Chain A
Amino acid sequence: MKRGDGQAMNSAVSASEFMAKDLLMEDVLPLAQAAYLPGAAYDEMFDPAGSVREHYELLQHRMISLGAEELAERQRTLERSFLLQGVTFTVYGAESATERIIPTDLFPRILPAKEWSVIETGLTQRLLALNAFLADIYSDQKILKDGVAPKELVLGAPSYRREMQGLYVPHGAYANVCGSDLIRCPDGAFAVLEDNLRVPSGVSYMLANRDASRRTFPGVFRQAGVRPVERYPDLLLSTLKTLAPERRSDPQVVVLTPGVYNSAYYEHAYLARLMGVPLLEGRDLVVHDNRVFMRTTSGLRRVDVIYRRVDDDFIDPLTFRRDSALGAAGLFNAYRAGNVVICNAPGAGVADDKAVYAFVPDIIRYYLGEDPILPNIETFLCREPSQLSHVLANLDKLVVKAVGASGGYGMLVGPHASAAEREAFADALKANPSNYIAQPTIQLSTAPCLVDGRIEPRHVDLRPFILSGESVVVTPGALTRVALKRGSLVVNSSQGGGSKDTWVLAEEPRP
């Protein structure tokens, strides 16, 4: 038994006697002044009556037996270790760039096996349908002809790439790495808020957080029976290999990064290192005769599969943005000739467009003939005049998002915005309605976080990672993103969000 985890279990108090408020008993956490009060939102740890949920009991014991001081110390150790490992992102100020660690909370978010299995089958279903949708959109466009999704909405989406029309994509897998954002609604059910099919990031933080939580709560981790996420890099590599051009034995896989100044550079290097493949920048690539090479010390070497973390627009200045120095000239032609595979496929983003999102349930029914397992959030398309007027009348209750934007930019959270901000947004809406969608403001679920030495509820979402090559694999874990400001619903790291580890429990708890 490590670090006295067992001691907590042997203490006289049984698990069921603990309530939410006990977490903050003065002798346990002297810094606490108010009780842990989950609000209207679903709380991951406590039920509405304030009793701890069963799958959180072990962790709660440990939180109490460690006490405030030791928890704060472990939080500091965790932060030091992230700094040392270089798990950082770069913040560019007026004069200098500083590296900061990703704010990370030491308490894992715990998901029982039963809940996870819904998520897993739901995400698999969703990705199969989205890949079928992409294959259709870039070939016969049956779904548009059948009028299930509006033609001008799909083909007019900024992420639609006409250059992809008629191209062969191995296994019809366009979105090979997908990171969907799920939220838990107040009724406890998960819904999909967003699909990320372009270059989703965060998986390295999932792995780094896991490393950290194994060290922070070793005993609880062992006893709880947590499913491992450590196979992600080798599953990613084998997924990428299944996509390699035919007749290439032992294909050369590479990761393509925009470079060391990209905020997700840590992740690019991390994945390349754990897959054991080269990490390339655009300047390392040479395209000759529709074949792609990298400059090595021993001359040019053929490249077969490019896991690119560079946006569509920047991968080839000859085909997309001419001013891009991040890709390689001629890359897209080599791709079109079938001599190299680019993952995710260019143009995959049309399926995660915020307006196309509204049609995903119909897309699932259309291609799979099944009802969606994971629901969407109700979405108003401002391009429809009737929906626009509803949105304008209810701006104080809705979240409005720009269709092309991501990362929490170009977004209005109605209930938290000032009247002036709402007015400015209303003008923007009226000027260009088809650029916006709106959704009801959902109270994301909350999970306990250590904030300034106190345990407080913070809103969280869930980003699992799904791989799709020959088959679809959902990694049994996720990045839980945390809105660090009290009451805030914005979890994006670019907007000051943090993260925590996510434990998916195995079916049978270990004896």
Chain B
Amino acid sequence: MLARVADSLYWIGRYVERAEHVSRLSAVMLNANLDLTAGAAQVGDLALTALGYKEAGKSGQLYDQAMGLALNREDAGSVIVSVSRARENARQVRDQITTEVWERLNLAYLRMTGEAADEAFEADPAQFLQEIIADLHLIKGAVDTTLSHGEGWRFLILGVYLERAQLIGSLLQVCLSDAGAPAVTDPIALMSLLRMACALEPYLRAYTADINPRSILEFLLFDDEFPRSIRFCTSRIQQRLEELSRQVGASRGEALRLAGKLDARLRYADVEEVEAIGAGALLAAVSGECAGIHEAIYETFVAYPLEFSLPA
């Protein structure tokens, strides 16, 4: 597969995942905005901090913030920008993805960028965001059910899980990095945290309605079956990279080495240990190593030096 194409597919995965996550945060913020409790007030802060907006000194009405997250074209992190970039990448590799994937992605793009988008958001923001999230699920469904699960699919999925590990990691860093004295204890805020990770229902099934910071940390870090837990993500990253490295020749394995290391770290840790040393250290390591894997993927598969690969 062309190196440029692999890079684009990887970015499609990242942008689609980012768009879905930001849509969900926007929706949770708006939902919390309806309540007048202190816990609800905290939710907007948490979401914006997790997305890196607090350092940027952004402030304003929660509704405007949520709408901006969805539709502000000037904001590089907004849903509309992520969807546009995903589509731009898809256009560049149109020959490598199926019509089904392309049409779903194009539809999401047309919905977000259409003239009626702002109006539709204002008329019913919850509905609007729900439809966008559904669009993004359809894209991923088409990726899984119509693309061959070969090299291209692996790069795309790699992008999805790396992005997800970083996004969930950042959410946990903001809310629960000090496991002894978590930033969030209010039950409403904790519930919103689970919603932001799209984890409420699976969590309830695993832990019942006993919502506490320790269990949430355990669930979102270590659950083996929940597709948004960090352990789940790192194990998928490791698997995809192992397959890819095998596919292209095993000699160039820095990305795989880092992914294996991260996967092992998550696989053999547990919540007691995390409580003892503090979740913050582990979450910082996850974030740093994800960034390292991202770099290594680029070096290994895309921007490798030519002198090593010219035929003798």
B248's contact among A265, A269, A270, A297, by CB below 8 Å, is which?
A: A297
Tell whether B306 is near chain A: CB-to-CB under 8 Å: yes
Residues of chain A contacted by B106 (CB below 8 angstroms): 84-86
Q: Give Cα A83 to B103, complex, Å.
A: 9
Given contacts A85-B99, A86-B102, contact A295 B2 (CB under 8 A): yes
Q: Give Cα A270 to B96, complex, Å.
A: 10
A273 touches B94 (CB 8 A): yes
Chain B residue at minimal CB-CB distance from A272: B95
Residues of chain B contacted by A269 (CB below 8 angstroms): 91, 94-95
Tell whether A288 is near chain B: CB-to-CB under 8 Å: yes
B1's contact among A273, A288, A297, by CB below 8 Å, is which?
A: A297
Per-residue A-contact encoding for B1-13, CB less than 8 Å = 1, 0 else: 1111110000000
A299 touches B92 (CB 8 A): no
Per-residue B-contact encoding for A55-90, CB less than 8 Å = 1, 0 else: 000000000000000000000000000011110000
Residues of chain A contacted by B2 (CB below 8 angstroms): 278, 280, 284, 294-297
B-side interface mostly: helix
Q: Give Cα A294 to B99, complex, Å.
A: 25
A298 touches B91 (CB 8 A): no
Given contacts A265-B91, A269-B95, A288-B310, contact A297 B302 (CB under 8 A): yes
Chain B residue at minimal CB-CB distance from A80: B110
Tell whether B41 is near chain A: CB-to-CB under 8 Å: no
Tell whether B60 is near chain A: CB-to-CB under 8 Å: no
Chain A residue at minimal CB-CB distance from B104: A84
Tell whether B311 is near chain A: CB-to-CB under 8 Å: yes
B249's contact among A85, A273, A280, A299, by CB below 8 Å, is which?
A: A299
Q: Give min CB distance, B89 to chain A, whole Å.
A: 9
Q: Give Cα A297 to B249, complex, Å.
A: 10
Residues of chain A contacted by B289 (CB below 8 angstroms): none
A-side interface mostly: mixed
Tell whether A300 is near chain B: CB-to-CB under 8 Å: yes
Per-residue B-contact encoding for A244-263, CB less than 8 Å = 1, 0 else: 00000000000100011000
Q: How large is the interface on A (under 10, 10 to 19, 20 to 34, 35 or more residues)?
A: 20 to 34
B110 touches A83 (CB 8 A): yes
Q: Give Cα A3 to B1, complex, Å.
A: 44
Q: Give min CB distance, A325 to chain B, whole Å.
A: 14
Q: Give Cα A86 to B311, complex, Å.
A: 39
Q: Give Cα A85 to B107, complex, Å.
A: 9
B302 touches A85 (CB 8 A): no
Per-residue B-contact encoding for A265-300, CB less than 8 Å = 1, 0 else: 110011011000011110110101000001111111
Q: Give min CB distance, B13 to chain A, whole Å.
A: 15
Q: Give Cα A54 to B92, complex, Å.
A: 45
Chain A residue at minimal CB-CB distance from B90: A86
Given contacts A85-B99, A85-B103, A288-B310, contact A295 B3 (CB under 8 A): yes
Residues of chain A contacted by B244 (CB below 8 angstroms): 297
What are 23 A-B pairs at a CB distance below 8 A? A84-B106, A85-B103, A86-B91, A86-B102, A86-B106, A260-B91, A269-B91, A269-B94, A269-B95, A270-B95, A272-B95, A273-B95, A273-B96, A278-B2, A278-B5, A278-B95, A284-B4, A295-B4, A296-B2, A297-B155, A297-B244, A298-B247, A298-B248
Residues of B participating in the A interface, judged by any CB pair closer than 8 Å: 1-6, 88, 91-96, 99, 102-103, 106-107, 110, 151, 155, 244, 247-249, 301-302, 304, 306, 309-311
